[in-house]
Amino acid sequence: MADTHDLPDDARFETRAIHAGQGPDPHNGAGMTPVYLTSTYAQDAPAVPRQGYEYSRTTNPTRTALEENLASLEGGAWGLCFASGLASTNALMDRMNPGDHVVAGNDLYGGTYRIFTKVFERFGVEYTFVDTSDPAKVREAMRPNTRYVYVETPSNPLLRLTDIAAMAELAHAGGAQLVVDNTFATPHLQRPLEHGADIVLHSLSKYLGGHSDLIGGALVGRDEATREELAFFQNAVGGCLAPMDAFLVLRGTKTLGVRMDRHCENAAAVAEYLSNHDAVERVIYPGLPDHPQLMIAQRQMAKPGGMLSFELNGGVEAANAFASATRVFTLAESLGGVESLVEVPPSMTHASIPPEVRRAAGLADGLVRLSVGIEHVDDLVADVERALSIAVGSQAQRAGAAS
């Protein structure tokens, strides 16, 4: 099975991205990790597997290669890969018992909010949603039965930042574990375990896969007892990542560094353009000087990332007009692929959050979210410029008709 490359201990991120967990196949020297399309493995004697592999729900060599690769990139001791980001969240919640409590961010990915409130609340798990960018609110929400503090930073779609080190201190003081959803930043820009987090969660469907061609999820951590519990649920529940998808993510992580650098450069240019435009009410990007948590960005992120949100003066109608008018940005949910995407979160990715909960969390109905891709930056800025003029024009027309 795949032979882990004998990397120097001090190999850097970009080098580990290409080699960690992978190496020439020991049987035939295949340079790239094979896709082990097998459900079962021959045993030498009953219950004596040859190399530890028995059945692919439990373990599969292509998945193992990816799990080792992700562990290395996040600075963890282990990784576990799942069929989706939400299947990873599910595995975390499978460890809870009725009456256990979770303190979670109040602008999480919509599907995360949904699995908490529509699935696990029914089994007696309790949730308190707070603005985790304010540590005092998290401290207040902690209870003796709190088992996780669960945060997303940058958050989705408001790009609020949460101080990971402060959260780790609060969680640990209360006997809880800190889970950080690192999907938006990726380990190239932010490594939560280095700031005290216990478990990092990823939707592999986004930047790590990087090409919008798969669905997957991962958990990475350091503590062995935690790994054993989560691996038990990975196998017992069965939401594991398929080998072909593991292979595709391994292909994606090889270029993670160069892709993220370009995503960041392009997003900074688009953010800058938007923040100088008259029709734009506000731009939210952790690289802009007016971002309220610039200090946290500088402390825990290498760069501000490829995601940004903005509000237009014309509210939801202008937002819809903008999102329908772009030609390079595709109107679609999801993020993190090489291609640029635009969406209106309240009616798309975040529609599963009730309107009053959304608004209370500061998510305006007319918010537009961009996943800035790695196309030529001039084409992206020109596309935004054109779509803004169309959105503003349709606003003016509507105002004219009304008066």
Ligand X SMILES: *Cc1c(COP(=O)(O)O)cnc(C)c1O
Residues designated as active site: 57, 109, 181, 206
Smallest distance from ligand X to CB 12, Å: 26
Q: Distances in Å between the alpha carbon of 165 and those of 66, 114, 192, 303, 354?
A: 27, 27, 8, 18, 31
Structure tokens that stand for 174 in this block = 């209360």
**Phi, psi at residue 353, to the nearest 5°?**
-95, 125
Smallest distance from ligand X to CB 192, Å: 13
d(CA 44, CA 30): 25
In this complex, which beta carbon is closest to ligand X, that of residue 234 or of residue 394? 234
Q: Which of 63, 101, 206, 254 binds ligand X (CB under 6 A)?
A: 206
Smallest distance from ligand X to CB 195, Å: 18
d(CA 55, CA 170): 40
Q: Which of 60, 205, 253, 340 binds ligand X (CB under 6 A)?
A: 205
Query: Could you say whether residue 23 binds ligand X (CB under 6 A)?
Result: no
Spatial CA neighbour of 112 closest among 337, 344, 349, 331: 349
In this complex, which beta carbon is closest to ligand X, that of residue 262 or of residue 350? 350
d(CA 249, CA 65): 10
Among the residue ranges 67-75, 171-179, 200-208, 378-386, the one whose residues contact ligand X (CB under 6 A):
200-208
Binders of ligand X among residues 73 to 92 (CB under 6 A) are 84-86
Please tell me whether the peptide bond between 154 and the residue prior to it is cis, using omega within 30 degrees of 0: yes
Query: Could you say whether residue 183 binds ligand X (CB under 6 A)?
Result: yes
In this complex, which beta carbon is closest to ligand X, that of residue 16 or of residue 259? 259
d(CA 245, CA 56): 13
d(CA 341, CA 333): 8
Residue where the block lists tokens 């008259």? 278
CA torsion angle 9 64 52 92 (round to 10): 110
DSSP state of 59: -
In this complex, which beta carbon is closest to ligand X, that of residue 226 or of residue 371? 371
Smallest distance from ligand X to CB 204, Å: 7
Please tell me whether the peptide bond between 157 and the residue prior to it is cis, using omega within 30 degrees of 0: yes
Among the residue ranges 21-29, 68-76, 201-209, 311-319, the one whose residues contact ligand X (CB under 6 A):
201-209
In this complex, which beta carbon is closest to ligand X, that of residue 133 or of residue 395? 133
In this complex, which beta carbon is closest to ligand X, that of residue 84 or of residue 226? 84
Binders of ligand X among residues 162 to 181 (CB under 6 A) are 181
Q: Which of 203, 212, 300, 371 binds ligand X (CB under 6 A)?
A: 203
Smallest distance from ligand X to CB 154, Å: 9
Q: Angle at Cα 62 formed by Cα 247 and Cα 256, nearest 5°?
A: 40
CA torsion angle 217 130 294 340 (round to 10): 40
Smallest distance from ligand X to CB 227, Å: 21
In this complex, which beta carbon is closest to ligand X, that of residue 67 or of residue 152? 152
Please report how the helices 256-275 and 243-254 are oriented relative to each other, as an axis angle in degrees rounded to 10: 70
Closest-approach residue to ligand X (CB): 85
Binders of ligand X among residues 104 to 163 (CB under 6 A) are 109, 111-112, 152, 156
| Side-by-side strand order, sheet with 307-312 | 280-284, 307-312, 367-371, 341-343, 330-331
Query: Could you say whether residue 217 binds ligand X (CB under 6 A)?
Result: yes
Q: Which of 215, 250, 391, 392 binds ligand X (CB under 6 A)?
A: 215
Among the residue ranges 123-131, 203-211, 293-301, 375-383, the one whose residues contact ligand X (CB under 6 A):
203-211
Smallest distance from ligand X to CB 217, Å: 5
Residue where the block lists tokens 């949460």? 162
- Name the residues that contact ligand X, by CB under 6 A: 84-86, 109, 111-112, 152, 156, 181, 183-184, 203, 205-206, 215, 217
